[in-house]
Amino acid sequence: MLLHIQKQIRESLGKQVEVCMKNSERLVGTITWVSPDDTMAELKMADGQIKLLTDVVIKTIKRS
C-alpha cells in the first residue's frame, strides 16, 4: 500500500490534488516538493498554508 501512495506522490508533483488523510481530514492544494525517496511531500494550499505530508498518514490522493 505504501508503495502505491509513494508512486501517487511522485506522479502528482506540480499538480492540484485532494489528499484524504487516515484521520478523515481532506486537504486540497498543489504538491510542490517530494522527498528523494517519495515518502514525504509538501502541499501548498490556496490560503498559502504549507503542509508536510508523509506516506503513512495519506489514505488516497485524487487529482483535481
pLDDT per residue over 28-64, tens digit each? Answer: 999 999 999 999 999 999 999 999 999 999 999 999 8
CA distance 49 to 19: 15
Expressed as residue numbers, the domain containing 58 is 2-63
Q: What is the CATH number of the domain that holds 45?
A: 2.30.30.100
In DSSP terms, which residues pair with 15 in a beta bridge? none
pLDDT tops 90 at residue 9: yes
Quote the CA–CA distance of 14 and 32 in Å, as a whole number.
Answer: 5
Cβ within 8 Å of residue 19, ≥6 positions away: 26, 27, 28, 29, 43, 53, 58, 60, 61, 62
Report the domain count for the chain. 1
Confidence label for 1 from pLDDT (cuts 50, 70 and 90) = confident
